[in-house]
Amino acid sequence: MFSYRHAFHAGNHADVLKHTVLIAALQHLTEKDAALTVLDTHAGAGLYRLDGDYASTSGEAADGIARLFAPGTPPLTPALQDYADLVGAFNQGNTLRVYPGSPFIAQRLLRSHDKLKLFELHPTDLRSLAGNVAQLEAGRQVAVLHEDGFEGIKKFLPPPTRRALVLCDPSYEIKSDYAKVLDMATDSLKRFATGTYAFWYPIIPRPEAHDLPRRLKTLATKSGKSWLHATLTVKSSKVTESATGDTKRPGLPASGMFLVNPPYTLKAALKAALPQMAELLAQDKHATHTLESGGG
């Protein structure tokens, strides 16, 4: 159960999509003076070394965040530039050694009266997260909770100020995660109908992965809520065979972000950013993107 470690994937194309969306959403939500609560159901370690053993083993950041910093990269669209700037702020010069996970991205954008609740079950990642958060000296603003985020968020919904963003991005290594995401979305909308909910999911050849956005769309529509669905594909999902007969699995080819009650500014930001994301992060001719919205 505890095999998944995000450190292997830090800064990959899925993180570029997820964190560009997260930053754009938070920038809008923090424009109102009223306090905001951010709930991160699967927080991970919070900070990752791109030159460490995990990240350099997979090298996924080289085909993700690093491409935005490569010499000769054209000017970035506003949402992608905001993302690159925030990641760059954790590093010195143009050298990318550190990648901030969603907890540190969120904390960087929150104001002193906002709250951040971080859930993590993996014991090693929990220790790393707690140590990393302690260095922020953020006091009571940030809470690290050794709990299952699917269940743990229930006690914080609705938040006292009636303003919240929930980020849910499990590993989906366990098939039941897909159903848990849907159950959590259903329950959360009953508890707090006006919250902003952001769900990341992998696009892989598995029926559950294709069913999830469709089911979330149905849930949002039945609830009378607006929704936004963005996907980024960087390569083909086909398993190929080399000349020596070895089968080569492609790794994660694509991912999606599905939001319920998205900020109204998000669609325009992504409409500009997604084509550039697909262009810069393409690994073969199958790279593409989609953006659709509805409801509300």
Catalytic residues: 169
R_g over Cα of the chain: 18
CA-wise closest residue to 134 among 46, 19, 40, 43: 46
Please give the Cα distance from 125 to 292 (Å, whole number): 34
Please give the Cα distance from 186 to 193 (Å, whole number): 10
Helix or strand or coil: residue 133? helix
> Which two tokens mark 199?
């769900």
Q: Which residues contact 132 (CB under 8 A, 6 or more apart)?
A: 45, 46, 47, 103, 104
Q: What is the DSSP string of 137-197?
A: T-GGGEEEE-S-HHHHGGGGSS-TTS-EEEEE-----STHHHHHHHHHHHHHHHH-TT-EE
Asked if residue 158 has a cis previous peptide bond (ω within 30° of 0), the answer is yes
Please give the Cα distance from 252 to 234 (Å, whole number): 9
Give yes or no for a contact between 172 and 41, defined as CB atoms under 8 angstroms apart. no
Please give the Cα distance from 214 to 232 (Å, whole number): 16
Please give the Cα distance from 158 to 37 (Å, whole number): 10
Give yes or no for a contact between 88 and 114, defined as CB atoms under 8 angstroms apart. no
> Which two tokens mark 101?
């996970």
